[in-house]
Structure 1
Amino acid sequence: MTKLGRLYSLFDSVELPDTLPYTQVSDWELRFLYLLGRHHLSGRDRIVELGSGGGGSTYALALGLRESPVFDEKTGRLHAYDFFRVGKGTFATEKFFTAGTRPEGENSFLDDFRDRLEPFLPFLEIHAGDIWQTSDPDDSTPVEFLHIDIAKTARVFRCVSERFLTRLRPGSVVLHQDFAGPRLPWLHYSMGALLPYVEIAGPPIRSTLAFEVTRPIPEDVLKTISEDAFSLDEKLALISAVQERVDRDHTGGIPFKSVLELAKAYVAHYAGEHRRAWSIAKPLTGDEYLSRTRSDHFEQVRKAYEDDRATGGGSRLTRLVRKTVRG
């Protein structure tokens, strides 16, 4: 069992406050964040949360750090990154406001976040805004812990890859919170590329995959990830490698092999290979979990396939680009 894996046995011992800020992260994931702060992290290197939202996950992690026997609040820092506002491109909900809805004329819940995290402000550094603007491209400080709940687009994941994955060292811990999201396949094939250099803690904790870096990650691997320089077939193969290592989540509720198979369909879908995407997705429509939770995904991929077929494979320019890529 991995060092991180030992934390699984402590889930039942965690009692988080009833006043925890609203969050879209499950109770299991909140407990794991608390356990990491309480029993694993030291604070000697950077502790980073990308996508703090309304503060529930930040609170759980900060509470664990406060109760840790080794974390020093005078020198250790928890860095929280987010837009801290609702609106297009933010993927935030109005429930992050204390009132539960957005006050008229207001779109920032930053003050609400600060109020909720007030007990931890002495060691909490808040970075509000677009991560491309709030993160430092020249910062090479090692990252001890990286919670990724912000990579909802390929654009943002590139920033995460360039400015944070490059700072991981052996012993660094990473949580991919959106690992059950088929529409975010960059999380899955990049994970495949990292497999030789990491150790997965155990079954995913609901939608979160936890792993620890065990070997230095080569610069060329990190560059390929940040530049998204894999071919379509390479991406599919990398996801297959993850499927060999990840099955159901620790509660048995999420069938990750099926989720990752649907992520493959999105790799093809984003590449404009809509027929191939539907050929991957169609057999999964009979999967009970996916048909119940991802019906909109199937509809999106199916519609793109039907539109592609109706137009004979897309526009003339699209067909020319595909022909050029295929050589």
Structure 2
Amino acid sequence: MTKLGRLYPLLDGVQLPDNLPYTQVSTWELKFLCLLGRQHLTGQGRVVELGSGGGGSTYALALGLRESPVFDETTGRLHAYDFFHVGKGTFATEKFFTSGTKPADGNSFLDDFRDRLEPFLPFLEIHAGDIWQTSDPDDTTSIEFLHIDIAKTARVFRCVSERFLTRLVPGSVVLHQDFAGPRLPWLHHSTGALLPYIEIAGPPIRSTLAFEVTRPIPEDVLKRISEDDYTLDEKLALISAVQDRIDRDHTGGIPFKSVLELAKAYVAHYAGEHKRAWSIADPLTSDAYLSRTRADHFEQLRTAYETDRAATPRVSPVARLKRLVGKG
């Protein structure tokens, strides 16, 4: 059993407060965050949450840190990054406001976040705004814990990979909260590239994959990840390598092999190879979980394929034969 895997049997015993802030993270994931803070993290390296949202996950992690026998609140810091406002490109919901709806006079829920996290403000450092602006490109401080719930676009993931993954060291713990999201394949093929240097904790905890860095990650690997320097076929192979390591989530509800197969379709889709994308996705339409939860994904991929097909000039059999004869 892995070091992180030893926390799994403790999940059922975690009691979360009833007044936990609204979050889109599942109860299982919140319990795991609390356990990590209480049982595993020390605060000796940076403790970083990318994508704090309404504060539920931040609260669970901070609560665990407060209950830790080794975390020192006077020197340790929990760094929370987010836009902290709703609007185009933020992927935030109005439920992050205390009222549950956006007020007429603004779109920032930063004050609501501060109010909810008030008990932990002495050791909570908030970074509000675009992560490209709020993160320091010159910061090389090692990261002990990295919770990634912000990489909804390739642009943001590049910032994550350039400024945060490069600071991982042996012992660093990483949580990919969106690992069940096929539209975010950069999470999956980058994990495949990291496999020789990490140890996956165990089955994903709902949509979260947890792993610990066990060997120094070579600079050239990190550079290729941040620069997206992999061919389509290389990315598919890297995702296949991850499929070999994980199956269903720890509750048995999410079939990750199928989810990752659909992520492969999105690798091809983003590369503009819509026919290939649909050839990967089409067989998955019979998957019960995906057909129930990802119908919009299939529609997007099918539409792109059909649009591409309609735009491609059709060559009649006669014309094709004349071309072949001409070449002869």
Normalising to structure 1: TM-score of the pair? 0.95
**What corresponds to 2:104 in structure 1?**
104
Please identify the structure whose Cα radius of gyration is greater: 2
**Structure 2 match to 1:113:** 113
Shift of 1:105: 2.4
Aligned residue identity for 1:210: A
Which residue of structure 2 aligns with residue 322 of structure 1?
none
1:20-35 superposed matches below 5 A: 20-35=20-35
Aligned to 1:153: 153
Number of the residue aligned with 1:202: 202
* Map of 2:133 onto structure 1: 133
Give the CA deviation at 1:213. 0.0
Kindly state the Cα deviation for residue 106 of structure 1 after the two structures are TM-superposed: 1.2
- The alignment partner of 1:241 has SS state of helix
Tell me which amino acid in the other structure corresponds to 1:2.
T
Residue 130 of structure 1: how far off its partner (Å)? 0.1
Q: 2:95 matched to 1:79?
A: no
- Secondary structure (helix, strand or coil) at the match of 1:246 reads coil
Residue 318 of structure 1: aligned partner:
none
How many Å apart are 1:277 and its aligned residue? 0.2
Alpha-carbon distance between aligned partners in 1 of 2:106 and 2:97, rounded to the nearest angstrom: 10
CA deviations on 1:133-162 (whole Å, 9 max, x unpaired) are 000000000000000000000000000000
Q: Which residue of 1 aligns with 2:231?
A: 231
Q: What secondary structure is seen at the aligned counterpart in 2 of 1:171?
A: strand
Taking the aligned partners of 1:200 and 1:298, their CA distance within structure 2 comes to 29
Query: SS state of the match for residue 81, structure 1?
Result: strand
CA distance in 2 between partners of 1:141 and 1:245 (Å): 30
Partner of 2:257: 257
What is the identity, as a one-letter code, of the residue corresponding to 1:303? T
2:293 alignment partner in structure 1: 293
- Distance in structure 2 (CA, Å) of the matches to 1:69 and 1:95: 34
Structure 1 CA distance for aligned equivalents of residues 300 and 105 of structure 2: 34
What does residue 18 of structure 1 align with? 18
Aligned-residue offset at 1:107: 0.1
Identity %: 86
DSSP-derived class of the 1:115 partner: helix
Aligned to 2:184: 184
Secondary structure of the corresponding residue to residue 48 of structure 1: strand
Deviation by residue 1:31-59 (Cα, 9 ceiling, x = unmatched): 00000000000001100000000000000
Which residues of structure 2 form unaligned runs of 5+? 314-328
- SS of the residue corresponding to residue 136 of structure 1 reads coil
2:62 is aligned to: 62
* Aligned residues: CA RMSD: 0.9
SS of residue matched to 1:283: helix
> Secondary structure at 2:126's aligned position in 1?
strand
Tell me the amino acid that sits aligned with residue 237 of structure 2: A
In 2, the alpha carbon distance for the partners of 1:23 and 1:277 equals 33
Q: 2:245 corresponds to which residue? A: 245
Write out per-residue CA displacement over residues 11-69 of structure 1, whole angstroms, 9 at most, x where no aligned residue.
11100001000000000000000000000000011000000000000000000000000
Aligned partners of 1:82 and 1:230: how far apart in 2? Answer: 28
Name the count of aligned residue pairs.
314
Aligned counterparts of 1:117 and 1:168: Cα–Cα separation in 2: 27
Distance 1:90 1:149 in 2: 12
SS at match of 2:147: strand
Inter-partner Cα distance in structure 1 for 2:83 and 2:122: 21
**What SS does the aligned partner of 2:304 have?**
helix
Aligned counterpart, 2:211: 211
SS of corresponding position for 1:175: strand
Other structure's SS at 1:69 match: coil
Where does the alignment leave 5 or more consecutive residues of structure 1 unmatched? Answer: 314-327
SS at 1:87 equivalent: coil
The code of the aligned residue for 2:222 comes to L
| CA-to-aligned-CA distance 1:198-227 (integer Å, 9 cap, x gap) | 000000000000000000000000000000
What is aligned with 1:220? Answer: 220
One-letter amino acid matched to 1:244: D
Is the partner of 1:24 in helix, strand or coil?
Answer: coil
Q: Which residue is 1:320 aligned to?
A: none
**Equivalent position amino acid for 1:197 in 2:** Y
TM-score (norm 2): 0.95
